[in-house]
A and B are shown apart, each in its own frame.
Chain A
Amino acid sequence: MAYDLICIVCPNGCHLHVDDNFNVTGNRCPRGPVYAKQEVTNPTRVVTSTVKINSKVFRVLPVKTKVAVPKKNIFDVMNVIEKTVAKVPVHIGDVIVCNVAGTGVDLVATRDILE
C-alpha cells in the first residue's frame, strides 16, 4: 500500500510518498525516509494529558507517557487516564500507571504536586 505524508522533521515539510516496497520519494534530506518508514510501519506518539488527583490545591495532575506509544493505542491510554486518580505527594517522573494499557510504557507525572 502506498502512503502520502508530510515530513515533520524540519520546516520544509516535504511531501513524501512511500510505495509498496517502502521506497520513499519527495524528500530533500536523508532524515525524511527514516521518519516516513517509521510513520508508515509503526507510527508512535507521546500522549500527554491530565489525571484527577486528590490534592487540596489542584484538581488535575499533568502526565505523559514516558516515551512514545503506538498511535493505535492512544485512546486505550486515554481510557486508563480517564479512570486514574493520583494521590499526593507526587513528584516529576513518578510513575502514575505502570505499563499503561499494556503498551509497555509507563505513565509518569510531569509536575510536583505535594499536597
Chain B
Amino acid sequence: MVDIIIIGAGVVGSLIARNLSQYEVSVLVLEKENDVGDVTSMANSAIVHSGYDPVPGTKKALYNVEGNAMYPALCRELDVPFGPVGSLTIALTDAQVDVLKDLQKRGSENGVETKLLSADEVKAMEPNIAPDVKGALLCPSAGVVNPFVLTAHAMENALDNGVKLHLDEAVLNVKRVKDHFEVKTAQAIYEAKVVINCAGLHSEEIAKMIEPVDWKINPRKGEYYVLDHYAPGLVNHVLFPLPSEKGKGILVTMTTSGNYLVGPSSEVIDDKEDFSTDALTLADVKRQATMMVPNIPFREQIRVFAGLRATPSTHDFIIEASKSYKEFINVAGIESPGLASSPAIAMHVVDELAAPVIALSPKKSYNPRVKKYINLQSMSLEERNALIKKDPSFGETVCNCEKISKGEILDILGRSLPCKTIKALKKRSRAGFGKCQGGFCQPKVLLLLAEYYHISPLEVLYDKDGSEILAKESK
C-alpha cells in the first residue's frame, strides 16, 4: 500500500510529486509514456504568463498570478533556465488600443502590473515590430521557461527525495476497495490511500473510472514553427496579438535557448493521439504572425511541431476532490495558463486537497534543490579547463550546433531520473535542438547511449517503443 499515487508525470504531476516529497509519505507516480513531460508539457509556448488575460476570480486567474510569482525561486532551486523577459500585447489598430485598456483593467483586477505603451515606445523596444503598430500592453512579470527541463528537474528532485516513478505504465483502471483504491496497470495492481489524477488529455477517462463526471476534456491542437537562434535576433519580449475566444492568439517569442517560436494555432480536434502538423494550418500561423512581425526569417526555420491542449468544457481548471471520494483528487483541464500556474496548482493541491485526507509530516531530510547542472557555456575558459582537467569528457563536444559536451550529457544520464532515449536526452540537454537538428550529433548520441546502457546500437530508441533508429547490421 502506498500513501499516494499520482497518475501522470507532466509538469503538474511532477511538481505535485516534488511538493509531496517534502513530507513523510510514500508517493508513486505512474506515467504512460517512457519519459516525463512527454505530451502537453513538452509541446507548448513555454511561456510563464503574467496573468492579465484570465477572467478575474477564476482558478486560472488566481493560480496564474500566484504561479508566476513562484517561478524565479522555483527555477533557482531546480536549476531551470528561466527568463523574465516580459510580454507585449500588440495593438495594430486604434480599436485594438481600446481593447488594451480593457485588458489592463482586467490585469489590475487580477493583481498584475501592466503598462500601456505608445507606438514609438513599442518600436524602440522591438525594432522588428510591424510599422503600423499603434501601441502595446507591457507585462513585465511575464517570462519564458524551459518546460522540458522544469518537468524533468521537478521529478528528479522528487525522486531524490524518495518518490518512486514508473515510466511506460498506463493506468487501466482505478477502483475503490474498502478504504483505499486499487490502481491497475498492465504490469501490476497497486493499492493507494490517495489518488491524484494529473493525466492531462486523459484525465477525463481516469476521473470516470471512479464516478461519472459532467465535464469533458477536449483536445485542442496548436501548431508551431521553431526558428534557429541567429544574429541580430528577432524579438526581445514575448509578443502577443489581442486575445480572442480561441485563446491568446499566435505569438512570436524567444525561448530560453535563444530560439524563436511562432504559433500556436488553435483547433479543436477529436483524436487525443493526433499530434500531426498540416501545411494549411501552418501557412495560416505564418500569415497571422507576420501581421505583427512582418519580416520573420522563416529561412531560419528548423522545426515544426504540434501540441494538444487539454481544454476543459468548464473553461476553468478543474482542481477538486471527486464527488464520491475526497481521497480521489482531479487536477484536470490544465490548458493555458497551465504552465505558468503549475507551481501554484501543485501548492494548492497539496495544501488544500491532499493535506485534509492524509497526514503530511515534514521530512527532515528533504532537500528542495537539484544538484546544479554544469553548463559549460556559462563558465569562463579557466573554469572550463579546471573541470576538464578533472574530467576530460567535458572537453569533448557532442552537439556542435548547441555546444554540448559529453560530460554534460553524462551528468544527465547519471541522475536519478531515467534518460534512456535520444528524445529524452534532447529535451534535457538540448543536443539535437540546433540548426542541423541532430544531423551531426544523433549518431554520436546513439553510440553514447548504447555504450552507457550496455545495449546494442540497434536497440537505442529515438522516442517511443518501436522507434529504433537502426534496423539491422548492414552485413
A and B touch in the complex (CB under 8 A): yes
Chain A residues proximal to chain B, CB less than 8 Å: 50-52, 59-60, 81-82
Q: List 7 A-B contacts (CB under 8 A).
A: A50-B474, A50-B475, A52-B475, A59-B473, A60-B474, A60-B475, A81-B475
Beyond contacts A52-B475, A81-B475: 7 other A-B pairs, Cβ-Cβ < 8 A, are: A50-B474, A50-B475, A51-B475, A59-B473, A60-B474, A60-B475, A82-B475
Residues of A within 8 A of B475 (CB): 50-52, 60, 81-82
**Cα distance A98–B427 when bound, in Å?**
51
CB of B458 to closest CB in A, whole Å:
12
**Cα distance A52–B474 when bound, in Å?**
9
CB of A79 to closest CB in B, whole Å:
12
- Identify whether the interface residues of A are mostly helix, strand, loop, or mixed: strand
B residues contacting the other copy or chain, number (CB 8 A): 3
Residues of B within 8 A of A81 (CB): 475
CB of A110 to closest CB in B, whole Å:
16
Residues of B within 8 A of A50 (CB): 474-475
**Cα distance A59–B443 when bound, in Å?**
15
**Cα distance A51–B475 when bound, in Å?**
7
Chain B residue with the shortest CB-CB distance to A85:
B475
Residues of B within 8 A of A52 (CB): 475
CB of A80 to closest CB in B, whole Å:
12
**Cα distance A81–B474 when bound, in Å?**
11
CB of A9 to closest CB in B, whole Å:
32
CB of A51 to closest CB in B, whole Å:
7
CB of A113 to closest CB in B, whole Å:
15
**Cα distance A52–B473 when bound, in Å?**
10
CB of A57 to closest CB in B, whole Å:
13
CB of A66 to closest CB in B, whole Å:
20
Chain A residue with the shortest CB-CB distance to B475:
A52
Residues of B within 8 A of A82 (CB): 475
Residues of A within 8 A of B474 (CB): 50, 60
**Cα distance A51–B473 when bound, in Å?**
11
CB of A23 to closest CB in B, whole Å:
44
Residues of A within 8 A of B473 (CB): 59
Chain A residue with the shortest CB-CB distance to B473:
A59
Q: Which 9 A-B pairs have the closest CB atoms?
A: A52-B475, A82-B475, A60-B475, A51-B475, A50-B474, A60-B474, A50-B475, A81-B475, A59-B473
**Cα distance A12–B474 when bound, in Å?**
36
Question: Which B residues between 434 and 475 are near A, CB-CB below 8 angstroms?
Answer: 473-475
Chain A residue with the shortest CB-CB distance to B457:
A59
**Cα distance A101–B402 when bound, in Å?**
48
**Cα distance A18–B475 when bound, in Å?**
39
CB of A37 to closest CB in B, whole Å:
36
Chain B residue with the shortest CB-CB distance to A82:
B475
CB of B457 to closest CB in A, whole Å:
10
**Cα distance A80–B475 when bound, in Å?**
11
**Cα distance A5–B459 when bound, in Å?**
44
**Cα distance A82–B472 when bound, in Å?**
14
**Cα distance A51–B474 when bound, in Å?**
9
Residues of B within 8 A of A51 (CB): 475
**Cα distance A50–B473 when bound, in Å?**
12
CB of B161 to closest CB in A, whole Å:
44
**Cα distance A50–B475 when bound, in Å?**
8
Chain B residue with the shortest CB-CB distance to A83:
B475
CB of A86 to closest CB in B, whole Å:
11
**Cα distance A106–B415 when bound, in Å?**
53
CB of A64 to closest CB in B, whole Å:
16
**Cα distance A60–B473 when bound, in Å?**
10
Chain B residue with the shortest CB-CB distance to A53:
B475
**Cα distance A82–B475 when bound, in Å?**
6
